[in-house]
Structure 1
């Protein structure tokens, strides 16, 4: 399995991280993330991103973001996602959603679009999509073409229920790794209004 970095909110998603480490005995997963005070904010954004990549992400090629109710507001998670996409060789990206909130992020339905008449089962974005998902996760999961529906192979960032990920993590990680060769991230940088590690430099 490809080297994978786990990004998560320590206070709320520690149980999800522990479940992954226990299931796979820690093999291939980097269990090291940024905490308050680890990185000086009196430096440039480029330095912060480089520091996270070198000291925390290491040689990982896929980033898995464990998503709960407060993940989108966590500065360190948002910065870890950005750092993983920074530069010329962005990591593959997967959003793994806590089972308890998955139905708030996606509703189940059937395609009723008359232009395709396929009737297949689809996921419909629900209110939790906007509230729970970090900005870069949402941007890299969106599909720019006007179609009735699309699946995770059409976008850079897959979104997976935690129990499904635990059951078949190698498949999802390999998929994220392979997509790096066929597409670019839709966005690599958080906008100014997204909570992230910010610099205190005065220009």
Structure 2
């Protein structure tokens, strides 16, 4: 009987030890899962920005990783430069205003084209001939595999005269450097190595 009692005690001790190990394991698992879910919850909360609208209503805005938006910002930067640089009206102050805004977005390579056009009297002919020139960007293809980023732009120019409208191709290439953001350069890029690859007449239509 004593041997049987000892055996029962030993069996009970093993069972208690097994239950103890199981309980400790479950408690550890619950603790680890609690920490993991807490960290995930905290990370999601950090992605949210609460904005007060004049101190009255509370709006929720989700913050995004800046890198996710860079391709779109790059295309918009290049598009904006082309619209400012190549859209002209027969007004000297308007031309200078747009050109100056465009040159903020680029380096000296764009200024060299501006100087060349000025020396050849291009802007004076636009003013004297009462010509409106409109740049329409069809697409901007950016390669983000290497830095500086390469951007190729396919656009059209509409040269509008009183008697006719001339349509021209415009294909350019440039590199994009990251730079600081400002009111004049909200996308945070600088164009360098700006080169016009093609700029020729397609057709002329009488008005």
> Smaller-chain TM-score range?
under 0.3
Q: Quick check: which has more Rg, 1 or 2?
A: 2
Greater percentage in helix: 2
**TM-score, normalised relative to structure 2:** 0.27
**TM-score, normalised relative to structure 1:** 0.28
